Amino acid sequence: MRRPDPGGSGRRGGPGPASAAEGTALPHPRAGAILLEAIVALVILSVAGTAAVTLVGQSADAVRRARAADAEMREASAFFHAVALWPREDLDRRLGERPQGRWKLIVQRPTPTLYEVVLADSAVSHEVLRTTLFRPEPRRPELAPPGWPEEAPAQSGGLP
């Protein structure tokens, strides 16, 4: 019958986990699991880093597109301010669709006194701005009562 080794190594040749003569230590039993955990942690970290870089890129692109849309809206609004000053005759001359710079200007007259003005992006055909303008019909002298002045009298700034 064999006796158990008092060093607990289960080997012959000396006490302890490894003899001094061998010069090597036994590997830790969890060494493979620790390496696997480190690799998984690096993968998670790299995926999170990639997602963060992608998010920053998309955010920068969204800001660029928003600035471009804002600049386009400002230009269109400035043009619409000029269109709002056009008299009835100018609006009548521009009825229909026509190119206006990088936009398409659409002027329609649904009623004798209303003009619908649309400014559309000619590249993708979406409306940039739309407005409706009121222009009174010109007075016809044959319908005016006798003695009616041709032009309306000028209004003074004060009360009568």
**Whole-number pLDDT of residue 152:** 53
| pLDDT reading at 20 higher than 90 | no
pTM of this prediction? 0.53
Q: Mean pLDDT over all residues of the chain?
A: 80
| pLDDT reading at 5 higher than 60 | no
Tokens, residue 14: 């000396």
pLDDT in tens, 35-92: 899 999 999 999 999 999 999 999 999 999 999 989 988 998 999 999 999 999 999 9
For Cα atoms 73, 75, 77, give the angle at the middle one, nearest 5 degrees.
Answer: 65
Sequence spans of domains, the chain: 32-143
51 vs 1, higher pLDDT: 51
